[in-house]
Structure 1
Amino acid sequence: MKTLTIETSHATIAISDSEGSGPPLLMIHGNSSCRHVFRNQLDGEIGRTFRCIAIDLPGHGDSSDAVDPEKTYWMPGYADVAIEVMAALDIPSYAVLGWSLGGHIGLEMLARTKAVTHLMISGTPPFEANSESLDLGFLPSAHMHLAGQEMFSEQDISDYAHSTCGVNAPFEPFLLDCVARTDGRARAMMFSRILSPEAADQQAMAIHSPVPLAIVNGEEDVFINNDFIAGLAYENLWEGTVYRLKCIGHAPFWEAPEVFDPYLIRFLSA
C-alpha cells in the first residue's frame, strides 16, 4: 500500500493507493470520516485485485483544510477535488465507490466528467433538489442533526462516530479521531448548500445515470429511507436491484465486509 499526497486547487489531499493491478477504483468516504474506513477493502482481496485509490476529502483525515472553504465544502467542490486527484494520478477512467456523502459526490461527478465508468453508492439517498425530497430521503434519527453542525462536543464526536459506523459494527479509536479532526465548516457549509441549483440534481443523475449504478445499503441504516431509495425508477441500475443487506447499518463495507465485498467485486468485474 502506498500513501502519498497530491496538491490540488482546493487542498493537499492524502491518498492510499493499493497494490492491485486491475481496473482502478476511487473510494470516497462519508461526512466527518476518512479514507481508513475502507481499510478492509484496501488490505483485502479487492485491494490486491483492483487498483484502489482512497482519498481523504479536504477538511478530513490527513488532508489539509480547504484553501477556500466556500469553493470546496459542497458537492461541486468535492467532486472537482476527486476529478483533479485522478487526473494528477494520470488515471483517465475509473469506477467510484461512494459512501454516504461520498455517494452524493459520486453522483455529482457524473454531471462533471466522463471519466467515471461505474458508480456504486451506499448510504446515499438520491434526492431531488427540493426540501420535500430531502426530507423523504433521510430519516429523522437521533444524531442526524449532527451531520450539518459545525461545532462538536466530546459527546457529539462519540455519538456521530458510533452512529455512522453502525451500532453493531466494530468500533476503533480512529473513527473518533476522524470525526474530531474534521473541519466543522465542512459540515455546516455543505448542508447549507445541499439544495443549491448550482449543484447537480442528485435524483436525476441517479435515475438517468450514464454509467451502471449499483446501490448496496444496510437494511438497518438509521440515516436513510431505504424504501424511498428502492422506489425510484432507475434506468441503468446494476442487476436491476437496490440491494438491502439484512441486519447491517450505515457502513456495510466496514461492518460486514464479508457480506458487502462480493457485491463490489462482482460489480467491478462486470
Structure 2
Amino acid sequence: MISIGAVVALAILALLTQVVVVVLDRAYPPLGEAVTVAGARLNVVELGPRNTTDPPLLLIHGASSNLEVMRRPLGDLLARNHRVILIDRPGHGRSTSSVDGDATPDIQARMIAEALGKLGISKVILVVHSLSGALGARMALDYSERLAGLVMLAPVTHPWRGGVGWYNKAVTTPGIGRLLAYTVTLPLGLLLVGPAARAVFLPQQMPDGFVKDTATLLLLRPREFLANARDLVTLKAAVAAQAPRYAEISVPTTIISGDVDMTVSTDIHSRPFAAAVSDARLIVLKDVGHMVQNVAPDLVISEIDAMIGRIATERASAARAATPRRPIA
C-alpha cells in the first residue's frame, strides 16, 4: 500500500512537471506550419528559396530529438541554395499525435507522405538521421514515387542485440508508465539530458549550447517522452520485418556513417543496408561517431549536391530521349 508521504511526493512531482511543461512550451513555441494528417498534426518548417527546379530536401530527425537537430547546422547551410523542409515526427517537438500506435516506421511514413501531398510536393530528396533511417527505408519501399533520392546519416536499418533501455520499457508499461512519465521523468531528465547528449557525440565533443539551441528539453515533456519511448520499443521488430525487403529499394541512395559510432553500429546497420540496395553508395568516416551531420556538414552537403546533379542529368537525358527526332530532309 502506498503511503501518504509517497502520494504527496508524487503529487508535488506531477505539479512540478506541469509547471516546467508550460515553461518549455513558452520557451520553444511552434515556428512552422501545422499540417493535419490522419492521426497527427505535423509541424513543418520551410527554409530557402521556393523557385528552384531541384527537388526539395526533406530532413527528418531521429530519436530523442526534434527538427532543430537537423536544422542546426545542416538545414540552415543547405537552405542557402536549396528549398529545405523539416518535419517534427509525430509526437515530437511541435508535432502532436492522437494515435498511441503511431510509433512504427510504416505508419509514420504514411503520415509524412500524406503531409507532402497536402503541401503540394510531388518528390523530395529525403535526408534522415539515426532512428529515422528505418523511416527513410520504409518510405523508399512504400512511397518510392515520393522520393527522388535518399540520404541516410548513421541510420538504423536492421535488428540488433539487446534492448533500448529499461526506462523506455518502463514508461510504456500500461498503468505505471504514465505515472512515471507525469511525475519523475522530467525532474530526473533535467539532470541527465546534458550527459546523455554528450555521450551521443562521442568521440567528438558536443557543440556549446547544443541542448538549448536544439530545444532538446522538449523531449522531457510527458507526452513527448512517451512518444519517444514507443518509437524505441517498437523499432527492433519493425526493422526486422522490413529488412528482408531492402533489395526492392530502387531510389538513388547515399549512406554516411562513422566508423566509431557507439549509438548505431555501422557494421550492423549501414554496411548491410548498402549491400542490400542496388543503387547505394556507402561512405564511412574515420574516427567519427553518431552525429555525422554536425561533424561533417560540408561532406553531407557535397553528397546531397552530387545526388541533385545526378538527378538533373538523368532528367535531361530522359527528356532528350522522349523528344521525337525530326526526319532528315
TM-score by length of 1: 0.81
CA contact (8 A) 1:19 1:48 kept: yes
| Residue deviations 1:80-105 (CA, integer Å, cap 9, x gap) | 12111111101111111110111111
Q: CA deviation at 1:68?
A: 1.4
Matching of residue 49 in structure 1 with residue 108 in structure 2:
no
Dislocated runs of 4+, deviation >6 Å:
none
| In structure 1, C-alpha distance between the alignment counterparts of 2:160 and 2:201, rounded to whole Å | 22
Q: Following superposition of structure 1 onto structure 2, how do residues 184-223 of structure 1 map, counting pairs within 5 Å?
A: 184-196=225-237, 201-223=241-263
Q: CA deviation at 1:26?
A: 1.2
**Which of 128, 134, 151 is the equivalent residue of 2:160?**
134
Matching of residue 170 in structure 1 with residue 190 in structure 2:
no
| Residue deviations 1:100-126 (CA, integer Å, cap 9, x gap) | 111111111122212112111112142
**Equivalent residue for 2:196?**
160
* Greater radius of gyration (CA): 2
Amino acid aligned to 1:262: S
| Residue deviations 1:228-250 (CA, integer Å, cap 9, x gap) | 332552342434xx211123221
**Which of 77, 94, 116 is the equivalent residue of 2:124?**
94
Distance 1:238 1:50, change over 3 A: farther
Amino acid aligned to 2:80: R
Matching of residue 230 in structure 1 with residue 271 in structure 2:
yes
State the secondary structure of the residue aligned to 1:227: coil
**Equivalent residue for 2:61?**
29
| In structure 2, C-alpha distance between the alignment counterparts of 1:265 and 1:36, rounded to whole Å | 22
Amino acid aligned to 1:8: V
**Equivalent residue for 2:175?**
none
CA contact (8 A) 1:160 1:179 kept: no
Q: Runs of 5+ in structure 1 lacking a partner?
A: 128-132
| Residue deviations 1:45-66 (CA, integer Å, cap 9, x gap) | x2132221110012211112x1
Matching of residue 38 in structure 1 with residue 39 in structure 2:
no
Matching of residue 15 in structure 1 with residue 59 in structure 2:
no
**Equivalent residue for 2:11?**
none
| Aligned CA-pair RMSD | 2.6
Q: CA deviation at 1:253?
A: 0.8
**Which of 86, 110, 123 is the equivalent residue of 2:154?**
123
| Residue deviations 1:156-196 (CA, integer Å, cap 9, x gap) | 42333223344423142244324324612223322333354
**Equivalent residue for 2:315?**
none
**Equivalent residue for 1:130?**
none
| In structure 1, C-alpha distance between the alignment counterparts of 2:194 and 2:74, rounded to whole Å | 24
Give the total of aligned pairs: 252
Distance 1:254 1:192, change over 3 A: same
Amino acid aligned to 2:48: E
User: Identity of counterpart residues, as a percentage?
Assistant: 21
TM-score by length of 2: 0.68
**Equivalent residue for 2:14?**
none
CA contact (8 A) 1:168 1:255 kept: no
State the secondary structure of the residue aligned to 1:124: coil
Distance 1:98 1:145, change over 3 A: same
| Residue deviations 1:23-50 (CA, integer Å, cap 9, x gap) | 2111110012111112223222x21322
CA contact (8 A) 1:37 1:254 kept: no
State the secondary structure of the residue aligned to 1:38: helix
State the secondary structure of the residue aligned to 1:162: helix
CA contact (8 A) 1:161 1:179 kept: no
| In structure 1, C-alpha distance between the alignment counterparts of 2:135 and 2:166, rounded to whole Å | 19
| In structure 1, C-alpha distance between the alignment counterparts of 2:207 and 2:37, rounded to whole Å | 33
| In structure 1, C-alpha distance between the alignment counterparts of 2:104 and 2:192, rounded to whole Å | 22
| In structure 2, C-alpha distance between the alignment counterparts of 1:191 and 1:58, rounded to whole Å | 13
